[in-house]
Amino acid sequence: MSEQRLLNIPYTIIVEGKYDRLKLLSVCKAHIITTDGFGVFKNREKMSLIRKLSEARPIIMLTDSDGAGKLIRSHITSAIPADRLIQLYIPKIKGVEKRKNTPSAEGTLGVEGMEKELLYRMLLPFEDENTVIKSLENPLSKTDLYTDGLTGGNESAKKRDELAKKLGLPSGMTANALLAALRILISYEEYLTLVGR
């Protein structure tokens, strides 16, 4: 693939692992969430974040085309209304990913093994050049959470729960999980208003 500009995708994209995410970041600017394989089955925070994101705007599902990918897709699809999901499928191609010595259980390539040109063509219909992707522009950091007592203090967990409740997120979120959600869901200015700064 000749060097093309990165696509600006305003939808959150769900992939299985960090190498899938890195591959997509080579063709687009987008907020990309990994399921950490089957980790999403037990990760209440991540599923809540995915649900919340789908309320604001449809999300793109792009899991591998093997049995594991289908199970993960099915799990997320059962939790999100159909009209809030954009289902994209990679072709089933035999092969081994470059970073691996042996093929996957089914001997097929995952998202990370797809050609950039194919992924580019798949995502091109969903581009919006004029949309600013909040999470890529949002300077909110762990320092802000510390400054506002959301981490590092005796009452931090309680304060995180109060802020999470205002945004329709679950209680008990870690500081890192809350930070990831805030950077996607609201602007820095909206955060400052919420914490009364």
What's the pLDDT tens digit per position in 150-172? Answer: 999 999 999 999 999 898 888 88
The domain boundary, picked from 78, 93, 126, lies at 126
User: What confidence category does residue 148 fall into, taking pLDDT thresholds of 50, 70 and 90?
Assistant: very high
For residues 121 and 142, membership in a common domain is answered with no
Angstrom CA distances, 61 to 34, 69, 110, 175, stand at: 11, 10, 13, 26
Structure tokens at 105: 């259980």
Half-sphere exposure of 83 (CA within 13 A, CB side): 2
Q: Are 109 and 142 found together in one domain?
A: no
Distance of alpha carbon 161 from alpha carbon 172, whole angstroms = 6
Burial category of 190 from C-beta neighbours within 10 Å (exposed 0-12, middle 13-18, buried 19 and up) = middle
pLDDT band at 125 (very low <50, low <70, confident <90, very high): very high
| Res. 187 pLDDT band, cuts 50 70 90 | confident
DSSP-derived 3-state class of residue 173: coil
Answer whether residue 133 is part of any domain.
no
Whether residues 151 and 120 share a domain: the answer is no
pTM for the predicted model, two decimal places: 0.76
Residue 122 falls inside a structural domain: yes
57 shares its domain with 112: yes
In terms of residue numbers, what domain contains 52? 7-126
**Strand 13-15 relative to strand 32-34: parallel, antiparallel, unpaired?**
parallel
Number of domains into which the chain is organized: 2
